[in-house]
Structure 1
């Protein structure tokens, strides 16, 4: 997103740095609400466009610009979520949230030729893992907005109510309903080191085509979901059962020649990527329960792999990420 040095009212804006400092917060909020980095970028751009469409007098009259920006972004996200439900009815196959790499793996460059600003990066925490985002997809738009704003970003229900357009009491009920959905879907916690080892074992077994080892690493009732978006070949429906999943994985490797499997962090959790001729063609996120893999999400839609494929790697490993708090 291009940032103006002057907002168009004929004189420098002394509050520009303070306004733009909210950008990462808005990007983090919008991604959690929408599950799409591209949509989150659009929301942030539209939010700032509305700010700079106001006169200087109107801007000065706003006591808390950060709260105003959040309110506007939240309302835009609510509208996008409502329309997204209609769009996804025509989406080819399963829809999976856009996967994100860890900061040191982030790719600079965008499909529109603009560089990815560090402020557009997403803070990776427990509210960003794929299992969490998938549960959010099952919520109503109002539930999702109320829950993320209150439980993740710690906004009081009085402020959430202004964004959602309901009473604080109604927003409290929405967040409570969302919490129940999260608790019902959560798998027992597995230590991160153990998760990483299981994913590493899965990678090695896949590369070795060790069918028995692959099956032993999967829960017997495991589920695999793939998202090709109708752009590339992919499963149109979830696969259930360890043996069926393994058969599909072996078939995929047979279809894609020179497939290289690499272990990477996906949305803050141990995951895998598949590369063909040096280009990432699939990103795999896992949910591990105990010592078995319970769910696999495979994203193959190229439109959702921009941070993994566009341009050279960005190596600013020391960049400080901003936590999702007010």
Structure 2
């Protein structure tokens, strides 16, 4: 089995999952000769017969096609020359999903020169999918470093759990005091327009909800090999679109319920701005924490919440001050 290393040593590659112990014949070999040639041989994977010439991969024949084909035709006539292939260095999860998307039970690994490296067998594909699925669930819970870290964190003693969690919650407590101070700076606006206080929980909640959705989407993408650069533009656009949609709903409802066009405009603008900043914060914080080797399981939630809450309060009262 061929092994290659990549820059991302935390991921296993397609080559590391592939085996070269597979049936291999030339394209001019007949079906009958291939059947006879496989008798008495022990393969790690015999679900697909590799068709190669001078080491170059030409196509494959599925075992069910080989068994049902006429004995005198050649493998060149029977093979699938368009079968999906992957490069040796590609991440194992991307390789597994490519096999699933092409409805293949095994996947061929071919190098840049077109030479056969090996085949990822059905049981290896299944193992990869199960392993990556477990890791994805761990990531969705904030355990970016994998399932083993998730288990370790879940089983650690009470004192260590306390030490891991309390610093981030103290940051959150400090943020709550800071948010209260922010609100206090706008005491005059609250006294003259008490209705402003009614909407603080709603503004904060919507921003947190949008941020949570964005963080989930981003973590899912990272877990299956999608780069941040591929997601950031689309997620920012979605955040703006969601903010605009919520603002267009909230503004008219506030106008209809409380009869204040100024208040409706304030709420609409605040919802739009806070949802847009929530999207940016939700993409940035988990990535930064992971970059500094800090566990996002404990840090991203409290930190993202307090930062977004501060932004939401500040944005809301800044807009209110400009309008009233």
Q: Structure 2 length as normaliser, TM-score?
A: 0.24
Greater relative contact order, per chain length (Cα 8 Å cut-off, separation 6+)? 1
Report which of the two has the higher share of helix.
Answer: 2
Q: Which has the larger radius of gyration?
A: 2
Which structure has greater strand proportion?
1
Q: Structure 1 length as normaliser, TM-score?
A: 0.24
